[in-house]
Amino acid sequence: MAVLEREVEILYADKAEMRRAVEEQNQLMGFVPDRSVTVERMQARVAADLEAAGIRPEDCDASRAIIAAREDY
């Protein structure tokens, strides 16, 4: 079996610059982050949006697995 050797370059991102870029994009899209949102509120919101669109998560294999894992937790 052939073994490939290659040089790995580790890159570091300037987090302050990345935050600034994300904030700028959020403003361009009109997205306003809500720091008070909890996981439970977001899950309920997504479920309501899916229901309004006529999509049933129970009909999707991946969603069923996520739901089952959440119930086991």
* Residue with more model confidence, 71 or 1: 71
Strands (E), 1-73: none
3-state secondary structure of 43: helix
Q: Tell me which residue has tokens 């999509």.
A: 55
How much is the pLDDT for 2?
A: 64
Percent of the chain with pLDDT strictly greater than 70: 93
- pLDDT higher than threshold 90 for residue 67: no
Q: What is the mean pLDDT of residues 4-23?
A: 83
Q: Tell me which residue has tokens 């997504």.
A: 46
> 3-state DSSP: the chain helix, strand, coil percent, rounded to 5?
60, 0, 40
Q: Tell me which residue has tokens 């073994």.
A: 3
